[in-house]
Amino acid sequence: MRLLGLAYDRDMTAPSLWSEFVERKIGTALMLDKGECNGSYSDACVLLSSLLSGIAAELWPGKGIDRCRFVELWARFADPKLQPALISVPLLRRHFHETGRSDDASILEATRPEMFDLGNGCLILLGSQVDMTEGDVLALPLPAASKKLRSFSYPAIFYSHVRSSLTHEYKLSDDAASHYMTRQKANVSYVNRSDPEASELSRRLIHFHMVWLAEVARSIASNVAGHVDNYEILPRPKQWWVNG
């Protein structure tokens, strides 16, 4: 069998080959992010995205489901300790403002007054401090459906604003940043960008820190190793996580 272009020799254990294959890809991505081989953060994201997209396509083959299976893979198989599927509060908040749902934005802002009150527009936010679990957001008196919330989850945001934007437009979307503004250790952080046309002086762009992305990819690969070893094709969910 060939998986992601890797030929498996039955005289060797699939998990060891799988681990070596994954670690090489992750190691290369980390080097690219550091500028080796004239690489960049974007190059590293393309490589990790292709790794995850390839795994998802092997587990759920078919056409027209790339986003669904990519997000499904991340949400289902990433280590929960990494908080891999939090809801991006800054991006959801801006969505509320831009779609005329100021009252909903105010409800969201009230959960983080020290971050969104007047005068805090230039505060550098870390995902671990500002972002919320889906359950916490659903507990708020908001009319947003689960499906809409999950489009603002880390895997869905990464797919749309990083993976797909780089693949189809050669750049990150206007809601994502390739450089961070903090030296603090973080999984996700937000970059303040001047935006004269916005209601505030600045907007917040999401940045996925590369070391954390590598850990997410590594944990996913580890958790699907059994399926890889058994050459499994997983049944499609009755409802994909991103649409749940």
Write out pLDDT tens, residues 180-218.
Answer: 999 899 999 999 987 766 555 568 999 999 999 999 999
**Torsions phi, psi for 234 (to 5 deg):** -80, 145
More confident position, 75 or 7: 75
Question: Strand, helix or coil at 144?
Answer: coil
Write out pLDDT tens, residues 131-173.
Answer: 999 999 999 998 766 668 999 999 999 999 999 999 999 999 9
DSSP string for 12-54: S-HHHHHHHHHHHHHHHHHHHHTTGGG--HHHHHHHHHHHHHH
**What secondary structure, in 3-state letters, does 156-208 show?**
HHHHHHHHHHHHHHCCCCCCECCCCCCCCCCCEEEEEEECCCCCCCEEEEEEE
Write out pLDDT tens, residues 87-117.
Answer: 999 999 999 988 999 999 999 999 999 998 7
Question: Strand, helix or coil at 126?
Answer: strand
More confident position, 3 or 12: 3
What's the pLDDT at 197? 64
